[in-house]
A = this chain, B = another copy of it.
Amino acid sequence: MKASGRSKSDGRTEILDAAAVAFMEYGFAGTSIDMVADVLGSTKGKIYYHFKSKTSLFLDVHRETMTTYIEAVEAVAKGPGTPLDKLRGVLMTLAMQVMERLPYAKVAVEGVDMHMSRSTTPEQRVVLREIIDLRDRGETILVKIIEDGIEQGLLRPCNPRLIVKPMLGALNWMTVWYRPRPQDTPETRKALADTLVDYLLNGIVSPAPAEPRVIA
């Protein structure tokens, strides 16, 4: 009997990692299965043994990403703290995820507005639906937190559904400009995430003539 537990050197997981890297560099349409195999240091055979098609491989990378996201987000959302704490926590978590798993993050970004109407089997549609649901769930959690925050006077009144867009957009945009540096450590990444999240929460305009306000 197989160990079958997903050790990190699981063949399938290795492929997902390689695929994420390849898709990150050239995008879905621009990446060939042979490129993925090259990154993997293997051949097409291995990939097509584990995955039905290129599209299915891409979708699995995407789903993997979204699942990780939603789990992290839900953990924070269910934790203790004010809505403001939670909001900050969720954004921080996402920012860290993007930096630490950049290839996956980028696949998720490309996957969002990809048109795969053609060349998607009904079965893949199901996966696509799953992914979209995960995303919606995450967004809804954020919206709920913001609504709570407004109710408690912690956040300024606004349309949460709308405000969530630039928030997540700013984080997702990290996949465009952020590149890991050799000297990067968890601490430097956290500092960067803090700066960004601070901005997303506080904006940039000086608070009246008063001195800079600090948020808890």
Residues of A within 8 A of B (CB): 25-30, 82, 84, 112-115, 146, 151-159, 162-163, 165-177, 192, 195-196, 199-210, 212-213, 215-216
Contacts and interface: CB of A to CB of B under 8 A. Distances in A.
Given A165-B173, A209-B213, A204 B25 contact: no
A157 B172 CA distance: 24
Classify the interface of chain A: helix, strand, loop or mixed. helix
B212 A152 contact: yes
A21 B157 CA distance: 37
Contact of A204 (B27, B155, B170): B155
Contact of A153 (B162, B195, B210): B210
A40 B207 CA distance: 51
Contacts of A176: 112-113, 169, 172
Contacts of A196: 162, 165-166
A43 to B, nearest CB: 22
9 contacts: A112-B176, A146-B204, A152-B212, A152-B215, A154-B210, A155-B205, A162-B195, A172-B176, A173-B173
